[in-house]
Amino acid sequence: MSSPTNDPTIHRGYTLALLVLVFTSSHVDRQIVAILAQPIKETFAVSDTELGLLTGVMFAIFYATLGMPMAMWADRGNRRNIIALAIALWSGMTALCGMATSFVQLLLARIGVGVGEAGSNPPSHSIIADLYPPEKRATAMAIFAVGVNLGIMLGYLIGGWVNEWLDWRWAFFIAGAPGLGIALLVRFTLSEPPRGYSEPDRHIGQPPPFIDVVRAMLSSRIIRNNMLGTVGFAFAGYAVVAWAPTWFMRSHHMTSGEVGTILALMIGLGGGLGTFFAGWCVDRLVSRSPGWQAWINVVAVVLIVPFASVAYTTDDSRLAVMLFIFPAVFGGTYIGTNFALLQNQIPIAMRATAAAINLFVLNILGLGLGPLTVGAISDALTPAMGDGGLGMGLLAMNGVLLWAGAHYLRAGWLLHRERHGNGPA
């Protein structure tokens, strides 16, 4: 009988499945704080801006900054071992969040989660790109990206119901514990694939200096526009994921368990299908034009903005829930397609480092500033609008999505021209 380490087909599928589990674990630990924001606010008497620091910028600074040296290590060292170490660190720090006796202690523990998660994504992207050829890479990356939705689903369910049954501290303990087992699974069952395995005719070369990777990315108009579009999508998406639970609780008077269940189904299951479907569509549309690697996200913007605009401004709870399905399902289409486009455009020896630079930019500006911006808008408008101030903060994110869509439109056009020889990328 073949084992996951000696049959190429099983090895590839097993590796992808395990990396999805890793990505899921990271997003359980990252996003569980969103469903617990309201009880944390009540426990430590903090403002929405301070909650924005907790869910966004302080986590993002350490997560994104440390991701680059970790990625350079991954381009040179054993990626499997780096991932296993990262999982153990972020899982332990998540459990420590439940022991915090002050907001500062909780903030420091969340920073520790960010430090751990910095070591996971870039080497995962690099491994997947080694195992899947370009014509199958968008689907593989989309399957990997579903870990975001699964993680949000589990985080909302665990956080929402454990908070009601026990309290918010126990939710952190329960979320962090499984990661230690996943770390052992990665370390002892995952194989390190040869670099460039899926593209044997493509020159690999030695990992270049960091500045050379930066220059290669900046010199490509395709990569620049793709990253700008991704920053906008991430800015709006992370803000919505961070604040939607609190918005439903405040504006529509739902309990944490109710909100956790609703959003788990919408963002977890519905969003997972949307993320996978986007990658699946790209791999089938790219033969018509490579521009669909970016244009699929323009379609998502068109589907999100009008329905989300009504959802954030209506007083009808049922209507708000129904219309929120659109940002929930289509809000993650950019994740796998962005990962795949970058890996397709960058040389093999630069892949992990390029992924880390990409993640640095989208997480500092997206994860870091998105939730903070909505929190600040909420604090500014609450004296005049009450609980409606938070809805206005979420509504502002639709403008950011339109800006992102413009950059994806441009990136797709550049890809189309590159295929037809009408100009450099």
| Predicted local distance difference test score (pLDDT) of residue 304 | 94
pLDDT in tens, 318-349: 999 999 999 988 988 887 777 778 877 777 77
270 part of a folded domain: yes
Query: Which domain does 266 fall in, by range?
Result: 9-195+209-419
| Predicted local distance difference test score (pLDDT) of residue 5 | 45
425 part of a folded domain: no
Q: How confident is the model at residue 7 (pLDDT cuts 50, 70, 90)?
A: low
pLDDT above 90: residue 121? no
Rounded Cα–Cα distance for residues 299 and 339 (Å): 18
Rounded Cα–Cα distance for residues 180 and 164 (Å): 26
| Residue 205 CA to its chain's centroid (Å) | 30
- Report the number of distinct structural domains present in the chain: 1
| Predicted local distance difference test score (pLDDT) of residue 19 | 92
pLDDT in tens, 165-189: 888 889 888 888 888 899 999 989 8
pLDDT in tens, 337-389: 777 788 777 777 777 778 778 878 887 888 778 888 888 898 888 888 877 78
pLDDT above 70: residue 409? yes
Whole-structure pTM value = 0.70
What percentage of the chain has pLDDT greater than the value 90? 14
CATH number of the domain at 156, please.
1.20.1250.20
Rounded Cα–Cα distance for residues 119 and 126 (Å): 12
| Predicted local distance difference test score (pLDDT) of residue 406 | 94
4 part of a folded domain: no
3 part of a folded domain: no
57 part of a folded domain: yes
71 part of a folded domain: yes
Q: How confident is the model at residue 196 (pLDDT cuts 50, 70, 90)?
A: low
139 part of a folded domain: yes
Q: Which of 13-17, 287-291, 352-356 has the lowest mean pLDDT?
A: 352-356
pLDDT above 80: residue 100? yes
pLDDT above 50: residue 3? no
262 part of a folded domain: yes
8 Å CB contact between 361 and 134: no
Rounded Cα–Cα distance for residues 357 and 126 (Å): 13
8 Å CB contact between 26 and 90: yes
